Homo-oligomer: A and B are copies of this chain.
Amino acid sequence: MIKFKNKLEKNSQEIDRFLDTYLPSGNGLNSKLFEAMRYSSISGGKKIRAYLVLESGRFISAVNNKTLSKSKYNELIAVGSAIEAIHSYSLIHDDLPAMDNSPIRRGKAANHIKFDHHTAILAGDGLLSWAFQIIGDRNFISSSEKRSEICFILAKAIGPKGMVGGQQADMDYAKHKSIDLGQIEWIQNHKTGALISCCSHVASVLLNASDEQKSNLINYANHIGLAFQIADDLLDLVGNEFSMGKPIRQDIKNETPNFVTILGKEKAIKKALEESSKAINLIQKFKQESESLVSLAKYTVNRNK
C-alpha cells in the first residue's frame, strides 16, 4: 500500500503541475475567477480519477506489449487533468447552499465560502468549459479523431443522463425515506460512477484498446466506482473529519438514506469488498498483471488506512 500511495502522490503532483501551468492566471477584471478555479482544483484531493486514466492507459500498453511512449503519457496527463477539473467543478456546485450547503471541502473552506456565491457558480462553469478546451486542443492530443471521440464520451458521461442527472436525482429523491437499494445504486452509478468509468473509457480510446479490453476496463471502473461510494458512506459513519477533509455524519444528521443506512454496516462492508473483488477479477482476466489497478481496487475500500 505504501508503494501505491507513493505512485498516487506522484501522479497527483503531475496533475497539479499541469493545472498550474495551463489554468488561466494573471490580473484583469476576471482575475477573481481565475483564482477561484485554481483554489478548488490545484493541490486538493487525491486525483484518483486522473490516476485511473493514467494507469488504465499504462495497462493497455502493457497488455498489447507496448511501452507507453512519452507522448502518450502526456496525452493521458492532459485528459486526466481535464477530468479532474470537471470533478472539481462538480464539487464546487454540489457544495453550494442550494445543493448540499457544505462549508468545507478537501480540508478547507468550500469555494462559495472562500469567495462568494456568484464566483463559485462561475468557477464551476469555467472549469467545465476549460476542460473541453483542453480536450479539443491539438497541442495536447495529436489525433483529431481521438479529440472528438473523447469530447463526446466525456460530455455524455457528465451530462443529464450521466453525472448531472445523478446529482439531480440525489437532490430530488435522496431524502425520501422510501428510496430502495436499486434507486440508491442508480443515483450513485450516475452521480459518481459515470465520471469514474469515463476515465477507463477515454484511456482505452487514447491507447487503441480492443473492444474486449475496453469493455473489461470500463466494467472494472464501474465496480470500483460503486465500492468507492459505499466506502464513502461507511467513512461518513466511522471516519474522522480531519482525514476526510469534509464534515462527517452528514447523512445521518440529514436523514439521507445511503448504502449504509439501507444495508446496515456489515452488509455494506460486504458489498464494498465484493465490488472491489469483482474489479480485481476483471483485471486478472487479462494475461498481464497490474499492481496499480489491483491496488486501486483495494484502496477504494480501505481509504482510511
Where the two chains meet, the residues of A that have a C-beta atom closer than 8 Å to any C-beta of B are: 24, 28-30, 32-34, 37, 93, 96, 98-99, 116-119, 121-122, 124-126, 128-133, 135-138, 144-145, 147-156, 158-162, 164-169, 171-173, 183, 186-187, 190
Contact = CB atoms under 8 A, between A and B. Distances in A.
A295 B26 CA distance: 40
A148 B166 CA distance: 27
23 contacts: A24-B161, A28-B165, A30-B161, A30-B169, A33-B168, A93-B125, A98-B121, A99-B121, A118-B168, A122-B171, A126-B160, A128-B129, A129-B158, A129-B159, A129-B160, A130-B159, A130-B160, A133-B156, A136-B148, A136-B155, A144-B144, A144-B147, A148-B148
A171 to B, nearest CB: 5
Contacts of A158: 129
A165 to B, nearest CB: 4
A122 B168 contact: yes
B125 A33 contact: no
B132 A167 contact: no
A30 B190 contact: yes
A121 B164 CA distance: 10
A136 B122 CA distance: 24
Contact of A160 (B24, B145, B172): B24
Contacts of A28: 165, 169
B137 A173 contact: no
Closest 7 CB pairs of A and B: A136-B152, A136-B151, A98-B117, A29-B169, A30-B165, A147-B148, A129-B159
Nearest to A129: B159
A37 B159 CA distance: 11
Contacts of A129: 128, 155, 158-160, 162, 164
A298 to B, nearest CB: 31
A263 B37 CA distance: 34
A33 B29 CA distance: 33
B155 A148 contact: no
Contacts of A161: 24, 30
